[in-house]
Structure 1
Amino acid sequence: MSVLLIEAFYGGSHKQLMDLLQEELQEDCVLCTLPAKKWHWKARTAALYFMQTVPASTKYRILFASSVLNLAELAALRPDLGKLKKVLYFHENQLAYPVQKCQERDFQYGYNQILSWFMPEHKLAHLEKVIGAKRNEDGYQLEDLSGQQKSRALMKNSKAQCESGLCEAQPGLYTTQHEGLPSPLTAPARWNQSEASESTNPCQEEDKQHLTFNLSNILSGQDYQQRPLHVAWPHRWEHDKDPETFFKVLLKLKEKDLPFHVSVLGEAFTEIPDIFSEAKKALGSSVLHWGYLPSKDDYFQALCTADVVISTAKHEFFGVAMVEAVYCGCYPLCPKALVYPEIFPAEYLYSTPEQLFKRLQNFCKRPDIVRKHLYKGETAGFSWAALGGKFRSLLAAEPREDL
């Protein structure tokens, strides 16, 4: 129980990462979480909650948390935790997160992130030594997994932004995904992978939904090559994923009587943009599935039956769902912006909604194009097989006074 894992928003990619770490560490960790609801409230108050609920222990060496938690507040409220080596994982940048409905930005969330990872000069100097980075006026230049030099602003004192997945970690540790995903060449029709057992840790609190889904029943009887193009959108139902642009493109395809099916996956929260109910009605029989699939088996099955996976995101640090879909054999179409050009080759990127529409229009007319396509990018470096060892090394390090 030497590693303390804290997640204030235990859902989606946040949950996926913590579950992987817990599975990897097994008896050597304790996981404390809050359910994935009311994100803003968690960002403001999680430190107070965990101050009261995290068990005291003299065995803790390392505290690993996501940036939803105000780590500075927790360290102040729990001095025993403040003495630990701390690793903070950033799923997003709250200083650059898209503002909804032209409202004024609430800078509290970005300020929380600054407080959580800001390091004094002597620690920045130590970071340079540890990760082999060279400082310049924009930030740090790092060596990525392929050995090539890439400029990345890790620690900007002037703007106080964190563009990497991990602070105080090796470059390339952005996010993770489950082992055992299929090769694009051998995507199975049905999965036999068992679900990971739910933790019984008393720190954890989670609401559960019980839904079932089987896409193979919907598609039974249709020849694979003859059925319409199947488009997947596996993202959170929130404004930063820009569902408006996605549905606008699909409705334009429908207006032109182009055949396609769509599966709108991803999790919905308290406030769902109106466009979802409007689009579901307008798309009608084109919809194969609509809604969150809590079972990983069902979720991967849906991706395996899809031909194209689309992102219209306005803010993305990595994009686990897109990489998972590529593993399942989907042809990716992503904005030529954000993190996507670092991950996907140019042929999978689009610059405008019009370009996205034209690509889909061609695919609707010739779905065999994408079904025969072999993905030309590299995804092996993002697998847990590649990154697991780096996380193990990070969490095995002993705490020191200069960290």
Structure 2
Amino acid sequence: MSVLLIEPFYGGSHKQLMDLLQEELQEDCVLCTLPAKKWHWKARTSALYFMQTVPTSSNYRFMPEHKLARLDKVIGVKRNGDAYQSEGLPGQQESRAVMKTSDAHPESGLCEPQPGLCTTQHEGLPSPAAAPVQAEAPQSTNPCQGEDKQRLTFNLSNILSGLDYQQRPLHIAWPHRWEHDKDPETFFKVLMKLKEQDLPFHVSVLGETFSEIPDIFSEAREVLGSSVLHWGYLPSKDDYFRALCTADVVISTAKHEFFGVAMIEAVHCGCYPLCPKALVYPEIFPAEYLYSTPEQLFKRLQNFCKRPDIVRRHLYKGETAGFSWAALGSKFRSLLAAEPREDL
């Protein structure tokens, strides 16, 4: 049996999970992806794209007979030996020809569907016959990055090394994508209010940037000034975890979140979490770590700025071990190896 992994937003924590599954299930795993851009469009239209490009195989199409019969009537699926081949799907023949090219390479974006190799990475949702392009690395298009980013990245350890641990200002981390659905506006308005009151704090703004960056980032960078310890994406995971390990508090202001890997990682690194009392967060974090309004978030941080020792002595009251691969690996394997059921 093959495992087919489909990821229309191949970046950040999504990429991290897909890469982990592909590595752990490498004996027979096919991965098909699209670049991590414009998630709202990917959510609406990527199914159409994958319908045309994912190679048909009975090895991973867990579909009971009654659904196959229905599919027969709708799109003309014909049974040919042990495999099902779809006809009448726009671009299906072209995509199959491209994917079966014997000398295709992974870096081309399309390749033969062999274990651990098939990764389709396209700029938008073109026809399958269009020339493939590679997924782009996060670009430093933000004027707030560039030289400042390099200068700040490991000034962090220099700044902190000369200060007694308990005397350092509160260090706040925001490890999210620089996009509107993570609500950076609320986060920075709270920090600017702390700044107006001359409360001491440091901030590390982490996470990936894309072609469109909310204006609040450039405004906040100027206002926060010397309070900034780090500003921008850290490609090295070790550097990223090192930054989190020096932070005291990790903040989420997200308006759209199904899980929140960045928050779990930060807590695992010793950060005190503050999350909205909404979305998935109440299912993961105890009530002590939730806030309902920006005013509540401000008051919590105001107290922590005055008494950073409160969070530095704090022991997290929730559990993170259950989210580790050691705990979940066997469950993923069991799920992906499940026999087909009538309700699938």
- Report the alpha carbon displacement of residue 391 of structure 1 after superposing the two structures with TM: 1.1
Partner of 2:190: 249
Q: Pick closer, same or farther for the CA change 1:373–1:51 going to 2, 3 Å.
A: same
- Asked whether the equivalents of residues 262 and 288 of structure 1 are also in contact (C-alpha less than 8 Å), the reply is yes
- Report the alpha carbon displacement of residue 348 of structure 1 after superposing the two structures with TM: 1.3
Q: Pick closer, same or farther for the CA change 1:395–1:292 going to 2, 3 Å.
A: same
Deviations 1:94-134 (A, max 9, x none): xxxxxxxxxxxxxxxxxxxxxxxxxxxxxxxxxxxxxxxxx
Choose 44-53 or 224-233, whichever is displaced more: 44-53
CA distance in 2, matches of 1:222, 1:265: 23
Q: Pick closer, same or farther for the CA change 1:279–1:22 going to 2, 3 Å.
A: same
Choose 253-262 or 347-356, whichever is displaced more: 347-356
Structure 2 SS opposite 1:207 = coil
Letter matched to residue 368 of structure 1? D
- Asked whether the equivalents of residues 2 and 61 of structure 1 are also in contact (C-alpha less than 8 Å), the reply is no
- Asked whether the equivalents of residues 35 and 136 of structure 2 are also in contact (C-alpha less than 8 Å), the reply is yes
- Asked whether the equivalents of residues 62 and 395 of structure 1 are also in contact (C-alpha less than 8 Å), the reply is no
Determine whether 1:258 maps to 2:199: yes
Q: How many matched pairs?
A: 277
- Report the alpha carbon displacement of residue 61 of structure 1 after superposing the two structures with TM: 4.9
User: What pairs with 1:4-403 in structure 2 (closer than 5 Å)?
Assistant: 4-61=4-61, 201=118, 203-204=120-121, 205-209=134-138, 213-214=153-154, 215-400=156-341, 402-403=343-344
Percent pairwise identity: 84
Structure 2 SS opposite 1:267 = coil
CA RMSD, Structure 1 to Structure 2 (Å): 2.9
Deviations 1:24-44 (A, max 9, x none): 201210111111123344345
Q: Pick closer, same or farther for the CA change 1:42–1:312 going to 2, 3 Å.
A: closer
Letter matched to residue 314 of structure 2? H
Structure showing the higher helix proportion among its residues:
2
CA distance in 1, matches of 2:193, 2:75: 54
- Asked whether the equivalents of residues 206 and 234 of structure 2 are also in contact (C-alpha less than 8 Å), the reply is yes
Query: What is the TM-score when the length of structure 2 is the normalising length?
Result: 0.72
Choose 353-362 or 204-213, whichever is displaced more: 204-213
- Report the alpha carbon displacement of residue 55 of structure 1 after superposing the two structures with TM: 4.0
Letter matched to residue 388 of structure 1? G
Structure 2 SS opposite 1:225 = helix
- Asked whether the equivalents of residues 3 and 28 of structure 1 are also in contact (C-alpha less than 8 Å), the reply is yes
Structure 2 SS opposite 1:332 = strand
Deviations 1:249-277 (A, max 9, x none): 11111111111000111222222211111
- Asked whether the equivalents of residues 51 and 77 of structure 1 are also in contact (C-alpha less than 8 Å), the reply is no
- Asked whether the equivalents of residues 31 and 117 of structure 2 are also in contact (C-alpha less than 8 Å), the reply is no
Partner of 1:193: none
Query: What is the TM-score when the length of structure 1 is the normalising length?
Result: 0.62
Letter matched to residue 299 of structure 1? Y
- Asked whether the equivalents of residues 61 and 398 of structure 1 are also in contact (C-alpha less than 8 Å), the reply is no
Partner of 2:144: none
CA distance in 2, matches of 1:40, 1:331: 30
Q: Pick closer, same or farther for the CA change 1:5–1:376 going to 2, 3 Å.
A: same
- Report the alpha carbon displacement of residue 78 of structure 1 after superposing the two structures with TM: 10
Find the structure with the greater CA-based Rg: 2
> Please, which runs of 5 or more residues in structure 1 have no aligned partner?
64-72, 85-198
CA distance in 2, matches of 1:331, 1:344: 11
- Report the alpha carbon displacement of residue 45 of structure 1 after superposing the two structures with TM: 4.3
> Please, which runs of 5 or more residues in structure 2 have no aligned partner?
64-70, 84-115, 122-133, 140-148
Q: Pick closer, same or farther for the CA change 1:50–1:318 going to 2, 3 Å.
A: closer
Deviations 1:208-233 (A, max 9, x none): 25997434244332322221110001
- Asked whether the equivalents of residues 31 and 119 of structure 2 are also in contact (C-alpha less than 8 Å), the reply is no
- Asked whether the equivalents of residues 306 and 330 of structure 1 are also in contact (C-alpha less than 8 Å), the reply is yes
